[in-house]
Amino acid sequence: MTGEQSKRVRALELIAAKIRRNVLDICMQRGGYAGQGVALADIAACLYFDEMRSDDKGWFHDRFVLSNGHDAIMTYGALAEHGSYSLEELRSYNEDGTKIDQSPIEGQLGFEITAGSLGQGPSQAAGIAWGERHQGSDKRVYCLFSDGELQEGNVWEAAMFAGHQKLSNMVYIIDNNDMQATGSTTDVLGVEPVPEKFEAFGCAARRVNGNDIPEILDAFAEAKHIKDKPYVMVCDTRLFAGIDCLQEALPTAHYVAAHSADWQAGLSEINTTLAALAD
């Protein structure tokens, strides 16, 4: 890794740590999908602060579709660092009457579609990518969805369409954490081997460590060189990755409502990480 590459990775690691801090700050008010938000911080840092291009108005030129609404906590945490939300706003997450919904609706800043109707995002993203191509646009479309959504038939219809239309302007990002609402994905309804299944539908697919920034960046770079195929990043992640004390203290669960002491311990650890990265 060159000096410039090392600086780039370190800068993104710092942003990822800030996103993790934001996720804890948001979730410690009323609980939430903190494990996923923390685990996805590395992907969020790479996506929002390196991969997606900006437009001339300070927003994003490329487009992002969130399918699994519970992972909105990742987007909220990242957009707080982008300056699009204040932490004070985000602390109303899941409060009665708030606009900061756990599963956001279309039109909420940062969200292309109403998220949370699982399995819908991949089809919508494919339609957006197809439309952008027909308009002669150079916009790239990114869609995040969960491994549990691979149990939905609509996901595979989307893969069939995307492969047939050779949508090389689209990247699917799968949060492959082996956890869904009712337990381990492996136990509920196994979905592996994920890359090979997407390849069978005409996609290029790669399994990556979703908590390794250099590997994530390399996959995004590879996607740009793939011609005539959509690209699928199967991102193996671990709940609360990057905050060791919470991985040890909290149960492996889809939704977390922790004690104040646990949240404070997590914030203390991530603040130590931030201080080390800022040196």
Residue 254 has pLDDT above 80, yes or no: no
Q: What is the mean pLDDT of the chain?
A: 94
Q: For residue 194, give Cα distances in angstroms to 18, 68, 181, 235.
A: 31, 17, 20, 10
pLDDT at site 13: 98
pLDDT at site 113: 92
**CB within 8 Å of 240: residues ≥ 6 apart:** 34, 35, 38, 39, 246, 247, 250, 266
pLDDT at site 183: 86
H or E stretch covering 172: strand 170-176
Give residue 260's pLDDT band: very low, low, confident or very high (50, 70, 90): confident
pLDDT at site 279: 79
Q: Which domains does the chain have, with CATH numbers?
A: 3-278 (3.40.50.970)
Given CA atoms 146, 167, 201, 205 in this order, what sign does their dihedral have?
A: negative
Residue 115 has pLDDT above 80, yes or no: yes
Query: Residues 230-258: what's their mean pLDDT?
Result: 87
pLDDT at site 64: 97
Cβ(232)–Cβ(185) below 8 Å? no
Give residue 23's pLDDT band: very low, low, confident or very high (50, 70, 90): very high
pLDDT tens for each residue of 61-98: 999 999 999 899 999 999 999 999 999 999 998 888 88
Query: Residues 94-109: what's their mean pLDDT?
Result: 88
CA 188/CA 190 separation, integer angstroms: 7
Residue 170 has pLDDT above 90, yes or no: yes
- State if pTM tops 0.75: yes
Query: Residues 19-36: what's their mean pLDDT?
Result: 90
Give residue 195's pLDDT band: very low, low, confident or very high (50, 70, 90): very high
Query: Residues 211-233: what's their mean pLDDT?
Result: 97
pLDDT at site 182: 85
pLDDT tens for each residue of 123-142: 999 999 999 999 999 999 99
Tell me how crowded residue 217 is: count the other CB atoms within 10 A of its CB: 19
Burial class (CB in 10 A: 0-12, 13-18, 19+), 22: buried
